[in-house]
Structure 1
């Protein structure tokens, strides 16, 4: 009778610290979600290149760009960060990225126009260390337990998301947006201390940047994972363009909405764990991923139909987060298993670049779709994207 492989004490210790690093950084991105749009709408727009500030939808579009600006700069820097970490070490590059992220948060604390806020968010995005953290998880875990380590990171992100939505209104009321951004900078500095405490050796002989990037870009299987993470995060970000207002229309306060998110995420984690075990222990990675993509698509259809009031929204959110959490663990794990040890950073850089483009596309595109076609048009678009991803996954099975 086979036993389920478990994380060693060292693997668990390192994965826990890396999950905390991820959580501290992601808190800085998530905590602004329920309060960012109202705050941005309270500021003067300022000078926005290529935007007619006198148009009817100028404010909504400018705020959408400001919310998603960090995703755009991340998209340009994930690959350089990943390659640099392959050559100069994960810890050094993560520290540099977190310092830049903290500087962006400090700038945002003093921004007085939407344009200035967008620039500050763009600087935050320049601290694009997610790809390096993912590569470090791959460096420090065995292949047979890597999905579980990635799940630890994914669960930390999901819990951070839920908790940040709960505390965001409280923080905003007590210390204002200025104080929220100062707190974000302080947590980034705390994450640097965690990184310094992680024992890590360079896991492979570095190869030239051009060689590693060429190898990664030529891998068709990696590109399919990249396409999937683009859709997943574009859908996620587009949802939050509409959902806060939809819940507000149901007379739910920010606090009540946050507790709804928290409850849904906790339940989804309970469902995620057996799915992860089934995928890893029983070799059902492809079928579990297909189920998860289907759940994301069904959730978008439910949100487009907008039936059932609060219960309908809660059900759609539960389906979405089950699929989202499973995919956040299985996709990076599969990417790491498909990648040569010397190109892990470059591969994670490309993967996270496409993820960041998805975040930006979801925020900016979601704001545009909502302004022109309402929530119905937005969620039909995200349902179509999810359906196309599911078709691609089913039509071209991926090697385990």
Structure 2
């Protein structure tokens, strides 16, 4: 599994590393450009996510027709072109075009689909967690490198680095990523979007993913602007070259927290508890960012945000794939990704608007209240996933009539893998034995 997943995870992580590199300093950089306003700056910080949301489904559909690899390549080319435009931009609107193009190469859903093609369903949760972990590592690495490289060589240099990372991802695509088999499954029922949204666990995870990404862009609009604004405007009057001192401790603490969170969430099945703790850290972060009177308190708030974000990231995709039935996974991940990207754009726009019309304390209070509502909803709606096992039998050994009539509270679902001629039954081993299932369906 590792050899199949790591090249794909690396491609996605290189792309996210490029996007994340500019986040710590982008709002300050954009604010200094011709025609800039706080609202436009907020749109630029989250702008890539709007086109991500719009193009997720089209890219997924195209990948079903022409193949995963060619679609990923097209997405990386578009991302590279957007990065070059952003690097060459001298005014706010050209920068906006570059950011929108960066997002238009929406390969996230295609990479997720390709992982599903390559990895058996019973280990897909681990594969998704691995992918989420590499993205979280990219986020942490970018937070350390972005401010340092931006201060030393300029933010336009970061966009050139992003373009180079896109080229490296293309190289990995054609040298390390295996070509996936064409797989078609038959299911005993069909997928409806309403079914996904009616499931409290899936809905809870979609909300968590959206809120996490939306608040991320809020933070990256506010942090550099507040730290560099003059004291008279409610800031701390730091130089842009000093921002690494804000992000470095946040990155280190975030990295430290990520490992234990993944272990407790996956191995010990405490994902709900990890998510709730992360939300508490988000609330603490924004209240401190809003009301801190010293740079040290503000940095404590930033550290709190990074810890909460990194604790969540490795678990999000994995939990969605666990809660969804096999015929829902693609649709559930697609809906979740689209909503999270839209929330990313909305978060940046909201933060820019709030900077225009409000003060720092009011923003801290509003964001704290939003976080409290999110915490209550998660406590009510979300449950830890049940532990399941999978039974695999060749189709020739199974009585199809018995299989179609298979019903048991401990059996989550069954399906047929036509490529390998396998019947797969997903069940709770604590409540029913494999032998009892076989007795119900074998010839």
TM-score, normalising length: structure 1: 0.83
Q: 1:204 touches 1:341 (CA, 8 Å); kept in 2?
A: no
Which structure's residues are more often strand, by fraction? 2
Q: In 2, distance between residues paired with 1:129 and 1:212? A: 23
Task: Using the TM superposition, give the Cα deviation of residue 387 of structure 1 relative to its aligned residue in structure 2, in angstroms.
Answer: 1.5
Task: Using the TM superposition, give the Cα deviation of residue 296 of structure 1 relative to its aligned residue in structure 2, in angstroms.
Answer: 1.3
Alignment of 1:339-350 (within 5 A): 339-341=324-326, 344-350=329-335
Moved more, 261-270 or 26-35: 26-35
Task: Using the TM superposition, give the Cα deviation of residue 281 of structure 1 relative to its aligned residue in structure 2, in angstroms.
Answer: 1.5
Give 1:363's aligned residue: 348
Q: In 2, distance between residues paired with 1:145 and 1:81? A: 25
Task: Name the SS of the counterpart of 1:78 in structure 2.
Answer: helix
Aligned match of 1:236 in 216, 235, 244?
Answer: 216
Alignment of 1:21-60 (within 5 A): 21-45=11-35, 59-60=37-38
The CA deviation string for residues 310-351 of structure 1, in whole angstroms up to 9 with x for no partner, is 321222222222221121111111112233445544332221
Give 2:168's aligned residue: 190
Instruction: Tell whether 2:322 aligns with 1:337.
Output: yes
Aligned match of 1:290 in 269, 276, 284?
Answer: 276
Task: Using the TM superposition, give the Cα deviation of residue 206 of structure 1 relative to its aligned residue in structure 2, in angstroms.
Answer: 6.8
Q: 1:30 touches 1:165 (CA, 8 Å); kept in 2?
A: no
Q: 1:81 touches 1:349 (CA, 8 Å); kept in 2?
A: no
Give 2:126's aligned residue: 145
Q: In 1, distance between residues paired with 2:42 and 2:145? A: 23
Instruction: Tell whether 2:146 aligns with 1:160.
Output: no
Alignment of 1:1-400 (within 5 A): 11-45=1-35, 59-85=37-63, 88-138=66-116, 139-140=118-119, 142-143=123-124, 145-146=126-127, 148-149=129-130, 150-172=132-154, 177=156, 179-196=157-174, 197-202=176-181, 204-205=183-184, 214=193, 217-218=196-197, 220=199, 221-248=201-228, 249-307=235-293, 309-341=294-326, 344-398=329-383, 400=385
Give 2:430's aligned residue: none
TM-score, normalising length: structure 2: 0.75
Equivalenced residue count is 371
Task: Name the SS of the counterpart of 2:359 in structure 1.
Answer: helix
Task: Name the SS of the counterpart of 1:198 in structure 2.
Answer: coil
Task: Name the SS of the counterpart of 2:164 in structure 1.
Answer: helix
Q: 2:125 touches 2:322 (CA, 8 Å); kept in 1?
A: no
Structure 1 residues 126 and 349, CA, compared in 2 at 3 Å: closer, same or farther? Answer: same
RMSD across aligned C-alpha pairs, in angstroms?
2.8
The CA deviation string for residues 331-376 of structure 1, in whole angstroms up to 9 with x for no partner, is 1111122334455443322211111111111111101112211222
Q: In 1, distance between residues paired with 2:182 and 2:328? A: 11
Task: Give unmatched runs, 5+ long, in structure 1.
Answer: 1-10, 46-57
Q: In 2, distance between residues paired with 1:85 and 1:212? A: 20
Task: Give unmatched runs, 5+ long, in structure 2.
Answer: 229-234, 386-443
| Bigger relative contact order, structure 1 or 2 (CA pairs below 8 A, ≥6 apart) | 1
Structure 1 residues 300 and 112, CA, compared in 2 at 3 Å: closer, same or farther? Answer: closer
Q: 1:96 touches 1:127 (CA, 8 Å); kept in 2?
A: yes
Q: In 1, distance between residues paired with 2:69 and 2:185? A: 15
Which structure's residues are more often helix, by fraction? 1
